[in-house]
Amino acid sequence: MPRPKKSTQKKTTTAATKKKAGKELKTLRGMKDILPADQKYWSFLRTKIDDIAGVYNFDRIDTPVLEETDLFVRSVGETSDIVQKELFSFVDQGKNKIALRPEFTASIMRAYINHGMGNVPQPVKLYTTGQLFRHERPQSGRLRQFNQINFEVLGEGNPVVEAQLIHIAHTYFKELGLEVVVNVNSLGSPECRPLYKEALVNYYKTAMSASLKDKYKKELKKNPLRLLDSKDKDLQELRDGAPQILDYLDDDSKTHFFTVLEYLDDLEIPYNLSPTLVRGLDYYTHTVFEFYMKKEVNGSQTALGGGGRYDLLAEELGSKVPVPAAGFGLGMERIIARLREGGLLEDEEKQIDVFVAQIGDQARRRAMLLFEELRSKGISVMENFAKSSLKSQLELANKVKAQIVLILGQKEVSEDTILIRDMESGVQEIVELKTIATELKKNWLKKKKK
Ligand code: HAM
C-alpha cells in the first residue's frame, strides 16, 4: 500500500517557513524609511518652502512618478550618467518603456507643453517637492530614492530670472539657518559651444594618456564637457589646464552672464566663478549654478542643490515655439544632514497643550467626548485611553511635556466636574466640566504662555 504523502507536504512547509524566517527584512539599497522622529525636519523644510513659494508667486505642480523613458533620454541627455547608468527604466505590462523620474525639470516642461501653459501670461512659475530615483552607487549624500525641492520659471529668457532663482534658494537656506555659497558658470549659447568643445577635444587629446583616451573615447566624441566634471582622478588633474568656456562665449552670452552676476552683486549674494562647472544634465544653456555649504565650497559630492537655464529643452521635447526657462533643484536629504550636523531643530518638540487622563470606564467614555470637544476648539490635546492606570497616563503626559493635565474620575463624572492640573507649577483646581474649554483658554493655557 502506498504511503500517505502527508509527511512530505509537512516537510516542505517547514522548509519554506524556515527560509522565510531566515530572510532579513530590509529596504532596497539606497532607499530609506523616514521615521516619525525625523518628520520634524521634513515638515520644517516643506513649510518653509511653501511659504517662500507663496511669497515669490510660484504655484505648486505635481507630476507622475512614472513617465516615458524617452522623456528623460531626450531631455537629460543620452550621454549623461543619469540616463546611461542611473535610470530605473523598465518595460511595463503594456510593453511601454517607462522610467521612475530621476529629476523634475523634464516632467515640468512636458506638463507646460501638454497643458498649453504657453498661452497664459508668461513667465509661468512652478514649484514642487517629491521623490526622485537614480540608480547610483549609494554612499554618503547619494541615495537611490531621494527628495528634491524644485523651482522652475518657464517662458522668460531675461537674465534676471537666474538671479531671482539663486536669490530665492539663498534666502531659503538662510531661513533654514544654513550659510551657503553659490558656484556659477556660463555654458553659453549653442552657437558658441561647438568652438569650445573643439578646443576641449584638442586639449584632452594632447594631454591624455593613450589608455585614458581610450576610456573616454565616447565623451571625447559626443560630449567633451563631461570630462570637466568627471570624478576620475587623472581627469581631475588635467582639469586646471583645460581651456575655459568664458574665453569662448559670444558677445550675447557674455552680456547675459555678466548681467546675472551684476544682479547677484546687487543682492549681495556670495558667489564663486567656477569655470569648470558644467553640471551633469545636457539641457543647460547660459547660466549654471550649484550651492555648497560655505565651509566646504569645493566638496565635489556635497552640492546641496543646483540648476541653471535650459532655453532649448522645450523644442527638444517637440514644442513648436521656443520656451526659454530656468530653474533649480535642492536635495532635501542633504539639507537635513546639514541641519543635523549643526544641531538645528534638535530640541524642537511637538507642543501638547492638554493631556486628558481618565480613571474608570464611565470616565473614559466621557473623556473621549471631551477630547473631541477640545480638539474641535483648536486646543492641541493628547490621550491614552487604552491605559487604566493614572500613573502610566501621567508618565506619558510628562514625556510629551503637556502643559495641562485634565483628570476625570468616577466622582467627577457624577458631579459634572473635572480636575485641572498645571504640570509645571503643580497648581490644581476642580472646575465645571461644561466650562472646561473656555476655562482652559481663559485662565490656564494663556496664563502658561505668558
Ligand atoms: P541635480 O544637480 O541633478 O539637478 O540635482 C539637484 C540636487 O539634488 C543635488 O545638488 C543634490 O543635492 C540632490 N541630489 C541629486 N542626486 C542625489 C542623490 N542620488 N541622492 C541625494 N541627493 C541627490 C537636477 O536634478 C536638475 N533637474 C535641477 C534643475 C531644475 N535644473 C533646472 N531646473
Pocket test for ligand 1, best of 125, 128, 129, 146 (most atoms within 8 A of CB): 146
Average pLDDT, integer, range 404-428:
96
Q: Supply the pLDDT for residue 217.
A: 86
Measured from the Cβ of residue 211, the count of other Cβ atoms closer than 10 Å reads: 9
Contact status, residue 157 vs residue 267, Cβ threshold 8 Å: no
Residue 141, Cα to own-chain centre: how many angstroms? 12
Strand, helix or coil at 384?
Answer: coil
- CA–CA separation, 293 and 383 (whole Å): 42
Mean pLDDT of 122-144: 94
Give the number of other Cβ atoms within 10 Å of residue 33's Cβ.
7
Pairing state between β 59-60 and 381-383:
unpaired
Cβ-contact 234, 241 below 8 angstroms: no
Q: Cα 207 from chain centroid?
A: 40
* Long-range Cβ contact pairs of 292-299 (< 8 A, separation 24 or more): 292/180, 292/181, 292/182, 292/183, 293/178, 293/179, 293/180, 293/181, 293/338, 294/179, 294/180, 294/181, 294/270, 295/179, 297/181, 297/183, 297/272
Q: Pairing relation of β-strands 417-422 and 428-432?
A: antiparallel
Q: pLDDT class for 14, splitting at 50, 70, 90?
A: low
Q: Considering only CA atoms, which residue is closest to atom 15 of ligand 1?
A: 331
Is the pLDDT at 6 greater than 50? The verdict is no
Mean pLDDT of 23-47: 95
Ligand 1 centroid distance, CA of 87 (Å): 14
Distance CA 438, CA 324 (A): 57
> How many residues are listed for the chain in this entry?
450
Mean pLDDT computed over 428-443: 95
CA–centroid distance, residue 92 to ligand 1 (Å): 26
More confident residue, 194 or 405: 405
Residue 33 has pLDDT above 80, yes or no: yes
Instruction: Looking at the CA of residue 329, tell me the nearest atom of ligand 1.
Output: 28
Q: Which residues in 419-433 are b (16+ Cβ under 10 Å) and which e?
A: bbbbbeeeeeeebeb
> In which band, very low, low, confident or very high, does the pLDDT at 15 lie, cut at 50, 70 and 90?
low
pLDDT of residue 296: 67
pLDDT for the residue numbered 22 = 64
Q: Which of 303, 218, 241, 202 is nearest to 226 (CA)?
A: 218
For ligand 1, the distance from its centroid to the CA atom of residue 307, given in whole angstroms, is 8
Taking the centre of ligand 1 as the mean of its atom positions, its distance from the CA of residue 332, in whole angstroms, is 10
How far does the centroid of ligand 1 lie from the alpha carbon of residue 331, in Å?
6
Contacts 24+ apart (CB under 8 A), 443-450: 444/403, 444/404, 444/420, 445/353, 445/354, 445/379, 445/403, 445/404, 447/422, 448/403, 448/404, 448/422, 448/424
Compute the distance from residue 133 Cα to the ligand 1 centre, in Å.
Answer: 11
> 447 Cβ partners below 8 Å, 6+ apart?
422
How would DSSP label each residue in 261-320? HHHHHHTT--EEE-TT---S-TT-EEEEEEEEEGGGTT-TT--SEEEEE-TTHHHHTT-S
**pLDDT attached to residue 295:** 80
- From 142-156, 223-237, 323-337, 412-426, the region with the lowest mean pLDDT: 223-237
Portion of the chain with pLDDT greater than 90, in percent: 74
Ligand 1, closest atom to CA 76?
27
Average pLDDT of the residues in 3-21: 52
Q: What is the mean pLDDT of residues 111-123?
A: 97
The predicted model gives 163-167 an average pLDDT of 98
Give 346-363 pLDDT, tens digit per residue: 777 677 899 999 999 999
Q: Decide if pLDDT at 1 tops 50.
A: no
pLDDT surpassing 90 at residue 72: yes
Single pTM value for the model: 0.87
52 ligand 1 Cβ < 6 A: no
Q: Which of 133, 284, 334, 336 to mutate to test the pocket of ligand 1 (most atoms within 8 A of CB)?
A: 334
pLDDT over 80 at 99, yes or no: yes
The whole-number pLDDT of residue 151 equals 98
**Above 80 in pLDDT, residue 387?**
yes
Give the tens place of pLDDT for each residue, 248-284: 999 999 999 999 999 999 999 999 999 989 998 889 9
- Look at the alpha carbons of 225, 230, 232, 233 in this order and tell me if their dihedral is positive or negative: positive
**H-helix or E-strand containing 105?**
helix 105-114
For the Cβ of 331 lying below 6 angstroms from any atom of ligand 1, the answer is yes
Burial of 266 (0-12, 13-18, 19+ CB in 10 A): exposed
Mean pLDDT of the chain: 91
Instruction: Answer whether 188's CB lies under 8 Å from 253's CB.
Output: yes
Cβ–ligand 1 contact at 102 (below 6 Å): no
77 in ligand 1 pocket by Cβ < 6 Å? no
Mutation choice for ligand 1 from 103, 172, 183, 289, CB with most ligand atoms inside 8 A = 103
Which mutation among 81, 148, 285 tests ligand 1's pocket best, with the greatest number of atoms within 8 A of CB? 148
pLDDT at residue 411 in the model: 95
CA distance 173 to 49: 10
| Residue 36: CB atoms within 10 Å | 7
Rounded to an integer, the average pLDDT of 135-154 is 94
- Check pLDDT > 80 for residue 5: no
Whether the per-residue pLDDT at 11 is higher than 70: the answer is no
**What atom of ligand 1 comes closest to residue 148's alpha carbon?**
8
Report the nearest-CA residue for atom 24 of ligand 1: 329
Task: Take residue 188 and report the three cell numbers written for it.
Answer: 553659453
Q: State the average pLDDT over residues 321-338.
A: 97
Cα separation, 86 vs 96, in Å, equals 19
**Which three cell numbers, joined as nine digits, stand for 300?**
565635489
User: Residue 43 C-alpha to ligand 1 middle, in angstroms?
Assistant: 20
308 lines ligand 1 (CB under 6 A): yes
Predicted confidence at residue 20, as pLDDT, reads 61
CB of residue 260 inside a 6 A radius of ligand 1: no
- 392, three cell numbers: 502610566
Task: Find out whether the beta carbon of 253 lies less than 6 Å from any atom of ligand 1.
Answer: no
In the structure, what pLDDT confidence band is assigned to residue 301 with cuts at 50, 70 and 90? low
Average pLDDT, stretch 79-101?
93
String of DSSP letters for 6-29:
HHHHHHHHHHHHHHHHHSPP-PPT
pLDDT of residue 2: 46
At 167-218, the pLDDT tens digits run 999 999 999 999 999 999 999 998 998 899 999 999 999 999 888 888 888 8
Q: Inform me whether the pLDDT recorded for 8 exceeds 70.
A: no
**Pair 182, 305: CB distance under 8 Å:** no
pLDDT at 149: 98
**The pLDDT value given to residue 425:** 93
Q: Which atom of ligand 1 is nearest to the CA of 310?
A: 32
Could you tell me if 72 and 78 are in contact, meaning their C-beta atoms sit under 8 angstroms apart? no
| Cα gap 241→243, rounded to integer Å | 7
C-alpha 265 – ligand 1 centre gap (Å): 25
CA neighbor of 167 nearest in space, from 333, 50, 55: 55
Q: Alpha helix locations (H) across 23-90?
A: 39-55, 69-76, 81
Question: How far is Cα 181 from Cα 272, in angstroms, rounded to an integer?
Answer: 7
Ligand 1 contact via 304 beta carbon (within 6 Å)? yes
Reply yes or no on whether the pLDDT at 236 is more than 50. Answer: yes
Q: Give the pLDDT score at 361.
A: 95
DSSP state of 123: P
